[in-house]
Amino acid sequence: MIAFLIYLPFLLVFVIFAVYAERKVSAFMQDRIGPMETGKFGILQSFADVLKMMQKEDIIALAADRKLFLMAPLVIFVSVFTGYAVLPLSADIQGSAAETGIYFLLAVISLDVIGILMAGWGSNSKFSLFGAMRSVAQIVSYEIPLGLAILCVIMLMQTLSLQEISLQQVGGLGFIHWNIIQYPFLIVPFVIYFIASLAESNRTPFDLPEAESELIGGFHTEYSGFRWAVIMLSEYGMMLLVSLIAVILFFGSWNTPLPNLGPVRLADWTSGTVGQLSADVWGTFWILSKAMLMIFVQMWVRWTYPRIRVDQMMSLSWKYLTPIGLFMVFVSGFWKLWM
Amino acid sequence: MTMELTNYQIILLFAVGGFVAIMGSLVTSWVLRPRRPNEEKLTTYECGEDPTGTAWGKFNIRFYVIALVFVLFETELLFLFPWAIVFGDEGLNALTQGKWGMLAFVEMSLFILILALGLAYVWGKGFLEWEKPDVKVTDVESKVPESLYEQLNTKYQ
């Protein structure tokens, strides 16, 4: 219940600042200054954008399939947001403690694809349909390596609950207890996971579904006003979601990265007392800070690499990531049983 | 009266809550926005030309094959997840001197290998090949010598 009251407002505020951050980060990486007019250093730019989009006329093409067109943004957003239900924020704050945890999460974010297909098909525009077809092919292809990378961690942790995975990474030595340090070979599944998660959230270099130079806006070409904003909201929501999962699975979840060094009890000082408010505040602070760092890396990747071609996208998933992912499943099995 | 939500009710709460939040903002936007449709505005976008025909038609069969391969592998994952949390069960492994883990691991290895064979088959059949663009490299005989470019490149280092 508390998790819901934290995640929903946080997501909405996060999107506003993430859009601003994205524009500033891209500007600094390209030696520009980015938005500067609205507020100090352009800090109010995204608020102005939201206000503007609220007042934009909502255009639904006559040729479109009205029902599908109207429902698609909702399906996309709800499927992404429901994924947040199983994520922990600290030792005590967690939405749903369902034992299926990550299994449920993978299932529900797959519904995103249906929303995208509805948007593309419902628009009855050639650009939208091509964008949606590409998007579906891309998302389903990368779902396999993504699942395999997550599977490696699950095999080592022996649980599907994200909270349990977090609890297994608790310790006085800070980052030493993180999965990626405890099981060094997890760096390979992590890289697979990171690449696949970029593809899942349609981020550059995998933004072929909305390649603006060939497909205008891809599956959301026909959307305008606030409906378009909902699609963008879901994209940023997906970015945050996959970053949080990466943090939970590989980088110690809500645990502090600082170790206890003799009398300098850095880990204890930055973890709070379990069961009290301090633990919740520190836990939430650490998991969200790590996720923000991951999102910065996603933005960094976006403004560093060019978009890949369709054939490269397909062969990367099926010919490289999937076989390597299968191999890593064997490695994890060996490690779990014989190490 | 205190109400404890079960785990799946909380998940439902997230779904409904997300839906309501979005509907709320859509309604706000509906109140604020103008409605002045005209025929030009309501045509499908096709680079400013009048759209020809409908987009609902045939598309490449390759998408279908990819979808089939996806379904196979997703089913594999579906079975792998429940297996992953029991094959290393410490109690069962201690009870059977590690035979439980060994058996589960070998069985699942066979399952994965069969699917890997399937992937190799699809790969060999060429269903994973997508059209590649022909890259034509054209050599240009430039009157500007290479060294001038080199000079320019190193100028600002």
d(CA B157, CA A250) in angstroms, rounded, equals: 39
Torsion angle of the four alpha carbons A164, A168, A171, A175, in this order, in degrees rounded to the nearest 10: -100
pTM: 0.88
Integer Cα distance of A121 and A112 in angstroms? 14
Q: What percent of chain B has pLDDT over 90?
A: 1
pLDDT for res A194: 93
Answer whether A311 touches B (CB < 8 Å).
yes
Alpha-carbon separation of residue B144 from A258, B138, B139, B140 (angstroms): 58, 17, 14, 11
Q: What is the mean pLDDT of chain B?
A: 83
**Contact present, A59 and B40 (Cβ < 8 Å):** no
Test mutation, B11, B112, B117, chain A, max A CBs within 10 A: B11
pLDDT in tens, B106-135: 888 898 898 888 888 888 888 877 777 788
Name the nearest CA neighbour of A125 among B45, B38, B41: B45
**Helix residue ranges per DSSP H, chain A:** 2-29, 45-54, 66-83, 101-123, 126-157, 162-167, 179-182, 187-200, 212-215, 225-250, 266-269, 277-302, 310-315, 322-338
Q: Do A82 and B41 touch (CB under 8 A)?
A: no
Nearest-by-CA chain B residue for A332: B84
Cross-chain residue pair A81–B15, CB shorter than 8 Å: yes
Average pLDDT for B134-151: 84
Q: Per-residue pLDDT averaged across B21-49, rounded?
A: 84
pLDDT band at B2 (very low <50, low <70, confident <90, very high): low
A265 to chain B nearest CA, in Å?
33
Residues of chain A with C-beta less than 8 angstroms from the C-beta of B84:
151, 154-155, 158
Confidence bin at B1 (pLDDT 50/70/90): very low
Mutate to test the interface with A, among B2, B7, B109 (most CBs of A within 10 A): B7
Does the beta carbon of B117 lie under 8 angstroms from any beta carbon of chain A? no
Question: DSSP assignment, residue B6?
Answer: P
Spatial separation of the C-alpha atoms in residues A153 and A156, rounded to whole Å: 5
Please list the alpha-helical segments (H only) found in A85-186.
101-123, 126-157, 162-167, 179-182
3-state secondary structure of B130: coil
Write the secondary structure of A267-282 as one string of H (helix), E (strand) and C (coil): HHHCCCCCCCHHHHHH
Give residue-wise pLDDT tens across range A10-23.
Answer: 888 888 888 899 89
**CB distance A95–B10 less than 8 Å?**
yes
User: Would you write out chain A's pLDDT as a tens digit for each of its 339 residues?
Assistant: 777 788 888 888 888 888 899 899 989 988 888 888 888 888 888 888 888 888 888 888 888 888 888 889 999 999 999 988 888 888 777 877 778 888 888 888 888 889 988 988 888 888 888 888 888 888 888 999 999 999 999 988 888 888 888 888 887 777 888 888 888 888 999 999 999 999 888 887 888 777 777 777 778 888 888 888 898 888 899 999 999 999 999 988 888 888 888 777 777 777 777 777 888 888 888 888 999 999 999 999 988 888 888 888 888 888 899 999 999 998 988 888 877
Q: What region, left, alpha or beta, does residue A34 occupy, with left being phi > 0 and alpha being psi -120 to 50 degrees?
A: left
Whether residue A337 and residue B101 make contact (CB cut-off 8 A), yes or no, is yes
Asked whether A110 and A143 are in contact (CB, 8 A), the reply is yes
* Cα angle A147, A150, A153; round to 5: 150
> Average pLDDT of B62-85?
86
Which one of A155, A314, A326 has the shortest CB-CB distance to B130? A314
pLDDT at B3: 65
**Which residue among A58, A61, A323 places its CB closest to the CB of B33?**
A58
pLDDT value, residue A58 = 85
Q: What is the pLDDT of residue A168?
A: 85
The verdict on whether omega for the bond into residue A9 sits within 30 degrees of 0, i.e. cis, is no
Domain extent listing, chain A = 2-338
Q: So what's the pLDDT on residue A193? A: 93
Do B128 and A230 make contact, defined as CB atoms within 8 angstroms?
A: no
- Give the confidence band of B149 by pLDDT, cuts at 50, 70, 90: confident
Crossing angle of the two packed helices A45-54 and A2-29, in degrees rounded to 10: 110
What pLDDT was estimated at residue A87? 87
DSSP 3-state assignment of A185?
helix
What's at B82, amino acid-wise? Answer: P
Q: Determine which of A87, A100, A118, A126 to mutate to test the interface with B (most B C-beta atoms within 10 Å).
A: A126
Would you tell me which residues 72-111 of chain B have a C-beta closer than 8 angstroms to some C-beta of chain A?
Answer: 73-74, 77, 80-81, 84-85, 87-89, 93, 98, 101-102, 105, 108-109
Tokens of A315: 């062969």
For residue B113, the distance in angstroms to the closest alpha carbon of chain A comes to 9
